[in-house]
Chains A and B, each alone.
Chain A
Amino acid sequence: MIESERTRLGASLQVPLLTALLIVVLVTLVLPPLIFLLKASVMIGDTPSHTHFGLDHFAAVLGSRRFVASSINSLLFAAGSAVVALVFGWVSAWIVERTNTPLKPLAYLTAIISLGTPYILYVSAWLLVLGKAGPVNQLYRSLTGASDVLIDVYSMPGMIMVEGFLWSPLAFLLVGATLRNTNPELEEAARMSGAGLWATIKRITLRLSLPSILALAMLVFIRAVEAFEVPALVGLPGRVSVLTTDIYSNMVAKAPPDIGGASALSVLMLLLVLLLLYGYGRLSRHAERFATVTGKGFRARAFDLGRLRYAAAAVLILNFVLLLLVPVAMLVWVSLLPFYQPVSAAALKLVTLDNYRTVLSPEHLDLIANTLVVAVATATIAMALTFIAAWLSVRRAPGGLMLDRLATIPLVFPGLVLGIAVMQLFLNVPVPLYGTLGILVWAFVINYLPYGMRYSASGMLQIHRELEEVAQMCGASPFTRLRRIVAPLLAPALLAGWLFIFLMAARVLSLPILLAGPRSQTMAVTLFDLWTNGQGTELAALGLIWSMLMAMIAAIFYALARRSAAAALARA
C-alpha cells in the first residue's frame, strides 16, 4: 500500500515538475527577443549615450497614411492567400482521401516537391512565368496582337495567387491528415439515408473538419500577414506595400536604419496578431465536441464518384500543372541560359550547362551541410518541446494553458523582426552564438514553436482522453502514458510537424537573412543573394538541385509519417 502510495505521489509530482521545467525553457526562448523588440520601440535617439524612452516612434507610425494603407493591404493579402490555399488544398485533399479518383499520387508528388522548394525559388519562377516577358503574356500578345499584358502579376491579385500557391501544398497535407483520421461513419450514414454527394460534403464532412480548417486558415492567414518573400518580390515592384515590407524598408533601405520605427510597427503587428489569436482561442475552446479519433477502429471507405471521377482527376492534373510543372519547367529553361531570355526558338541557341558547372562547386557542399544541420536541429528541438507542451496543455494540466500561450507568442514575430531581435540579444549577452549556426537554430526554434504546437495540439485534440484514462486506471505513470499511448497515436502529427519545420527551416529566408554570417550561410540566404545580385540563372540551377534533394527527403519522411499513422491506427 505504502509503495503504491509513493508511486502515485511520485507520478503526481512528475507533471508539475515537467510543466515548470518546460515553462522555464519556453520563457528563456520566447521572452528575451520580445523584450528587445519592445525596448527598441520606445527608445528614442540613435547613439547609445543619448537615449530616452518615449512613444515618438508609435506616434510617427500611427500618424502616417501609409500605415493605414499597408495594414489594409496586409489583411487583404493574408485573407486572400488563406482562401486560395485552403480551396486548393481542401479540394485536392478531399478528392485524394475520400474518393476513388485515379491519379492520386500526382497530388502527393505536387505537394511534396512544392514543400521542398525554397520560397525565393518558387516566387521567382512564378514571376518569370507571369511576368511581362513571360510565356503567358507572350502567348497573349502573339494571339491577340495586343502590345499590352493579359496579367499584371505585380499587383494584389498576383501576390495573393503566388502566396496562396505557396501554402496550398501544406493545406493539402494537413487537410488530408485530418480527413484520414476522421471517422467516416457519419458520412456513410448520411449517404445511406439518401443524402447526395454535395449534401454529405456540406452537412457532414465540412462541418466535422471545420475546426481543423479554421485552425489551418488561421495559420496561413497569420503566416501571410508576416510573409516577406512575396511582398518583397511581387509587392514592392507593384507598389503594393504591406506591413512587413514597410518594416523591411525601415531596416535596410534607409540610411541610417530606422530600428525604432520598424520595432514600433512590429509591436503594432504583434497586437493585431494577438487579436487574431484571441479569436482562434475562442474557436478551439470547445474542441472536444469535434474529437474524431476515438478508441473505435475504422477504415475510411472511398466514395464512388462514378463518371465524375474523371473530372476530379482533371482537377488533380490541373493542380499538378499549376503548382509544379509550370514553375519547374520555367526554372529548367532559365537554368540553361547564360542570362534571362523569354522562351523562344532563337534563345535555344544560347543553351549551356555553365550554371550547373558553377553551382556544383565544393563551396556549395558547405552550404548544403549548414542548411541540413540547422533544419534538423530546429525541427527536432521544436517538436520535442511542443509534443510535451501540447500534451500538458490539451489535457489541462495546471500551467498547461501558459505553455500553450508561451509557445504561441512567437507567432507575432515576422521572421525579419525576430531576426533583428535575436541578433541584438546575442550581441548583448555573453553567449558566443553570434556568427555561428547556433544562433540560426535558436531563432528558428523560437519561430517554429507555434507551428510545432499547432501540429502537436491539433493531433492531441483528436485523441480522446478515454484511451489515457484507461491507461491511468491500469496504473500507468504520466511518462508511460506519454510514451505508450500519446506518442504512438500522435506520431503522424509529430512526424508531419517535424517534416514541416524541417522543410520550412531549410527554405525560409526572412529569418536567416540577418543572422547568417560569412561562416554560417544557408541555402535560402544564398539563393536570395543570387537573386538580389542578379544571378537568376545560377539561382535556378542551384535551386533546382537543392529542391530535388529536399523533395527526396520530404518523400522519405512523408512515407514514414503515413506508415506510422497506419501503425498507430492498427494498434488503436
Chain B
Amino acid sequence: MKRPRFALTAVLLLAATSARAADASLIDGAKKEGEVVWYTTQIISQLVRPMSAAFERKYGIKVRSTRANSTELSVKIINESRAGRPQSDIFDGTSTVVVLKKEGYVLKWLPDPAKAYPAQYKDPEGYWVANNLFFMTPGFNTSLVPRGSEPRSYEALLDPRWRGKMVWSTSATSSGGPGFIGTVLTEMGEAKGMAYLRELAKQKVVNVAGAAREVLDQVIAGEYPLALQIFNHHTVISAKKGAPVDWIRMEPVTGTLSVLSVHKDAPHPNAAKLLADFIISGEGQQIFRAAEYLPADPTVPPLTPSLTPEGGKFRTHFFTPEQTEDQMPGWKKIHDDLFR
C-alpha cells in the first residue's frame, strides 16, 4: 500500500518540479525573445492596454498588438502563414481559430491554468481555451428611451416606433447583424425565423461598418436610441463613466466564448506561451474582472454578476467557435439579402 502512494507522490512531485522547470526555461526563453505579438479582437483601451501593461511589468517583455475582428484576423493570419511569414504569436476571437485550425496553423497546446477550466471552455482537441465570455444583447440610450419603455422581446422590435431607430454592426461575427440572425434562426427555426427577419428588415435597421463597441457609442451619443447585438458588459463600462446607457435582458441572449490560441510557427514561441499562460492564469483573469469583462475562469467571479446567465437569470443560446464559423456564411448571406 505504501509503495504505490509513494510512487504517486513521486510522480506528482516530479510533475510539479518539471512544470516549474519548464516555467523557468519558458520565462528565460521569452525574455530572450524580448517581445510578443498579440492579434486580438478585444477592445484596446478597455482590455488589451491593462493586460499588456501588467504582462510587461511582470516579465519586462514588450507586447505588440493589432486589433481587428475575427474574420479579418483569420484572413491576415492565413495570408501570412501560407507565405511562411507568420507575424502573430497568439491570437484570440470568437471564431478566428476554427479556419486556422483546419489550415494547420494552430499549436496543439494549452496553458497549465486551463486544466482547472470547465470542459466546455476548452477545445476537446486542445487547440484553444476561452479567456472570457461574451453575451450579446440590445442596448439603449436611457435619455432617449425612458426606462421601462425599451423593447423587451424580439416581437417588440417590430413595433413601428423603432423603425429606422435601431443600429447594428455589419461585422460578419456573432457581434454583428449576422450574429443576431443566427440567434433568431436557432431560436425560432428556419421558417418562423425567416418570417420574423423579413418583418425586421422592414424596420430598416441601420448598418455601421465598425465594431459593436462603435455601434454602442453612437447610441450613447444619441445618434440612435437602440443598438442590437452589442456586448452587455460594454454598457456597464460606459455607464460607470456616466454614459446614459443600459442593456436589455432580451431572451434568448447570444452567448459566445472569446478563445485564445498560440500560432504553430510563432516567431516568439516562448513569449507566446508565456503570454497565453498569463492571460488564462488567475492574475490575467483578475484583469478581465477589473475591466468589467466576464472571466472564463470559474474561480474569478465577474464584478457585475448580473451580466452572466447565472447571475442575471437569463436564457442563452451558446455558440461554440466551430458553430459560429460553420454557420456564419449562411447568416451573412441573409444579412446581405435582407438588410443591405
A interface residue numbers (CB < 8 A to B):
48, 128, 131-133, 154, 232-233, 236-237, 239, 241, 245, 248-249, 251-257, 338-342, 350, 358, 423-424, 427-428, 432, 434-435, 517-519, 521, 529-536, 538
Is B99 an interface residue when CB atoms closer than 8 A count as contact? yes
Do B65 and A256 have beta carbons less than 8 Å apart? Answer: no
| Distance in Å: Cβ of B50 to nearest Cβ of chain A | 12
Number of A-B residue pairs having CB atoms within 8 Å of each other in the complex: 142
**Which residues does chain A contribute within 8 Å of B226, judged by CB atoms?**
none
Distance in angstroms between the alpha carbons of A342 and B44 in the assembled complex:
25
Assembled-state Cα–Cα distance A535/B88 (Å): 24
Rounded to whole Å, the gap between the CB of B69 and the closest CB of chain A is 8
Q: Does B171 contact A (CB under 8 A)?
A: yes
A534 touches B216 (CB 8 A): yes
Q: Among residues 28 to 62 in chain B, which have CB atoms less than 8 Å away from a CB atom of chain A?
A: 37, 39, 43-45
| Alpha-carbon separation in the docked complex, A239 to B336 (Å) | 11
- Please state if B71 and A531 are interface contacts (CB–CB under 8 Å): no
A-B contact pairs, 25 of them (CB 8 A): A48-B82, A131-B223, A232-B209, A236-B170, A237-B207, A237-B208, A248-B209, A249-B170, A253-B172, A255-B70, A255-B71, A255-B332, A256-B71, A338-B242, A338-B243, A339-B242, A350-B242, A358-B45, A427-B85, A435-B80, A518-B87, A518-B88, A529-B44, A529-B67, A533-B213
How far apart sit A236 and B243, CA to CA, in the bound complex (Å)? 26
Given A236-B170, A519-B64, are A538 and B45 neighbors across the interface (CB < 8 Å)? yes
Chain B residues touching A, majority SS: mixed
> B69 to chain A: which residues have CB within 8 Å?
252
Are B214 and A532 in contact (CB-based, < 8 A)?
A: yes
Q: Which residues of B contact A245 (CB under 8 A)?
A: 209
Residues on A with beta carbons closer than 8 Å to the beta carbon of B80: 427, 434-435
What residues on B are CB-neighbors of A427 within 8 Å?
79-80, 82-83, 85
Cβ 8 A contact of A342, one of B70, B221, B340: B221
A530 to B48, alpha carbons, bound, how many Å? Answer: 13
Decide if B170 touches A340 in the complex (CB within 8 Å). Answer: no
1/0 contact string of B78-101 vs chain A (CB within 8 Å): 011011010110000001000100
Given contacts A532-B214, A534-B213, contact A132 B222 (CB under 8 A): yes
Nearest-CB residue, chain A, relative to B177: A253
Chain A at the B interface: SS class: loop
Are A534 and B99 in contact, with the CB atoms below 8 A? no
Interface size on B, residues (CB 8 A): 55
Give the shortest distance, in Å, between A514 (CB) and chain B (any CB).
8
Q: Cβ of A253 and Cβ of B43 under 8 Å apart?
A: no
Complex CA–CA separation, A518 to B68 (angstroms): 12
Of all chain B residues, the one with the shortest Cβ separation from A529 is: B67
Residue of A with least CB distance to B48: A533
Asked whether, in the complex, the Cβ of B340 is within 8 Å of the Cβ of A239, the reply is yes
Are A339 and B211 closer than 8 Å at their CB atoms? Answer: no
List the A side residues contacting B325 at CB < 8 Å: 255
**10 A-B pairs with the lowest CB-CB distances in the bound complex, closest first:** A534-B213, A427-B83, A133-B222, A340-B221, A534-B214, A518-B64, A534-B217, A532-B210, A236-B209, A255-B71
B118: Cβ under 8 A from any A Cβ: no
Which residue in chain B gives the minimum CB-CB distance to A131?
B223
Q: Which of A48, A253, A257 contacts B170 (CB 8 A)?
A: A253
Given A358-B45, A427-B83, decide whether A517 and B340 contact each other with a Cβ distance below 8 A.
Answer: no
Q: Residue B281 at the A interface, CB < 8 A? A: no
A253 touches B242 (CB 8 A): no
Name A245's closest neighbour in chain B (CB-CB). Answer: B209
Interface residues of B in 180-205 (CB under 8 A from A): none
Given contacts A133-B223, A254-B332, A427-B83, contact A531 B44 (CB under 8 A): no
